[in-house]
Amino acid sequence: MALTQYEIDHLADAAIESFNTLEDTMRGKAGSALIRLTSADAETLKNELALVSRGSRREIERTITATIQRAAEASLAKDEATYAAARAAGLIAPYAPVGESAALNELLSKGIATAQNMANIVRTKAEQAVLADFIDALDSAMLAVAVPDGIGIEAATRQAIASVIQKTPTVTYAQADGSTMNQGLYGAVRRAVQTGANQTTARLTLARAEELGVATFEVSAHMGARPDHAEWQGGVYTLEELETVCEYGDVVGLCGANCRHTFYPFISGVMEPTDWSEMDDPTGEAYELSQRQRACERAIRGYKGREAAYSQVVKDSGDPQVKAWAEDQQLKANGLKRKWQDEADRVAGLRGGVRRGAREVGALAQTPPVKIPTFAPPAPVIPPAPPAASAPAPAPAPVPAFVAPGSTLPPIDETISTQKLIGRLKGQGVDIKGLSSLTPEAARDIARGIERELAAGTTIPPITVKKAAAKFAAAPAYASTTIVNGQATSTITINTACRSTLDVASRERMVSTGWWAGDSTLGSLISHELGHVEHYESFVPTGVPIGFARHNIGIPKLVGMGGTLNPKWTEIEGKVSTYAMTNGTEFVSEVRAGIMAGKTYDAEVWEIFYKAWGSGKRPSWIK
């Protein structure tokens, strides 16, 4: 079934991030080399740039290898589901497992090597471009100082640094007809990795289909397609038609440069042609918005790079005036980056309304579900709640565990549609709105998290997926509880306006840096917010205002006359998370998210937990 549109769009993300870091570092060094204009030396900078560039080569190659391998494995796994269904229906003969095919392994190795070579060419050209920009900036600055009534050495220095940092990086390609084409570094990296991965998976699909005697394929479709690609997207074609109609194999055709289409085996009898009507774009609005989105992304990356490069100048400058000027430029770049981010969020909202969510490609009628790990709730080691001060100490309680009644439903696999997910959740009494606005991957992530909670015996309040109000812009999710006549009503909102909600890399960074206690799934956000819901609602019988839940955790962050960081604060932060130290209710919810992600905590953490819990009513998820 090939790669989904979302997977294709984000194939190059990790490689682009690596290249951005490399370019920012090189431009920062070039800017720093111009601080002392009269002693600036191109040969010295050339050696420094070469050292930085060579140092990044191995990381970039590893990133590209992992990217293409994941893409190939995902694509082949989906194709194998099609073939398994066809084999079960007697439509194709028995065949050897895909992993035993030497031809496929050879194609994969060649695809990785080609993409790595392209990336290394881009890396080398970027290094050369930064050096050329440095020489141009230095020559212009020295000329501006030397001419009568010149601008002066200080102004010339600032002008040169700004020129080399703010220059848009380009890579020049030689075309088959002898002409040349200039392309931005971002586009060149995307072309090398995304196109390379897409072409590799396409070749693997064709090779596997040839092995099994399959000669018909369905081409994917997406909104915002180029006008000439929109003519053939979403159709079912023979191999010959892929070449004659879709121009497969041509740089401007199917799976060509920057093409976001793919194709996969189509076997009549186990598949029905996909209805792509919702991908029609008669007004061209989706295409225009997609181009605007790309422009926003380029601007954000550009200003983020300037910010990083100017920070290098600030670090290296011994001249107070140059340092102050560079700090000002750094702040300006940060402000412009934020403005473009706001514009990107606005355009993303418009695109969401037009697209009505991304889709999986293909529609298998009888494909057996792909087995994936079940999200079984862990059995954590949790000490019992501390007794009230007036009560005698109780005997040690047995290790508490989750109440896990289990589920008779099969695990959520990669073929289930969002609409089926919604029906499945409603069948379990879950009220969820807006799930279809997410990508299928994100929708499944949320559904798995909800079912993990259901298996733990959790009551799920109404959940809404939407773009929240501006005051919640930084919150990926939030819980709300109101009390009327002694009755609590709670809701949870998944906020699509927050970057961390839909950006997997951002969530992974939150976990890896220790900011969050849970895992990087969207389900973990729900586990956190459910901690708020039960914490707030536990105060209802007591008559104590919900606001009491927000008291601090009882550990001062700073101690002593000098206000130094409290070692105990750092210790507890390391055991749970940075965000847990915000206040009592966040500590409670972070501990809950950590438990649901399989973590355990020691007695000291649980002592703080029960103090922060405060209501006296034991959490339902602790026996």
pLDDT value at position 446? 92
User: Rounded to an integer, what distance in angstroms lies between the CA atom of residue 92 and that of residue 100?
Assistant: 18
Q: Is the pLDDT of residue 162 over 70?
A: yes
pTM check: above 0.85: no
Task: Sort strands 432-433 and 463-466 into parallel, antiparallel or unpaired.
Answer: parallel
For residue 546, name the pLDDT band (cuts at 50, 70, 90): low
Judge contact between 493 and 478, C-beta under 8 A.
yes
Task: Sort strands 180-184 and 236-238 into parallel, antiparallel or unpaired.
Answer: unpaired
C-alpha distances out from residue 408 to 39, 281, 284, 433, 577, Å? 75, 42, 46, 24, 35
Per-domain residue ranges of the chain: 5-355, 418-613
How many CB atoms are closer than 10 A to CB 304?
Answer: 18
CA neighbor of 515 nearest in space, from 599, 577, 427: 577
SS3 label, residue 433:
strand
Q: Is the pLDDT of residue 363 over 60?
A: no
Judge contact between 32 and 312, C-beta under 8 A.
yes
pLDDT value at position 554? 64
Kindly report, residue by residue over 43-93, the tens digit of the pLDDT: 888 888 888 888 888 888 888 888 888 888 888 888 888 888 888 888 888
pLDDT value at position 528? 92
pLDDT value at position 263? 93
Q: Is the pLDDT of residue 461 over 90?
A: yes
Q: Who contacts 55 (Cβ-Cβ below 8 Å, separation ≥6)?
A: none
Tell me the HSE value of 370 on the side-chain side, using a 13 A CA sphere.
16
The total number of residues shown for the chain amounts to: 623
| Dihedral, 324, 328, 331, 332 alpha carbons, nearest 10 | -160
pLDDT value at position 370? 28
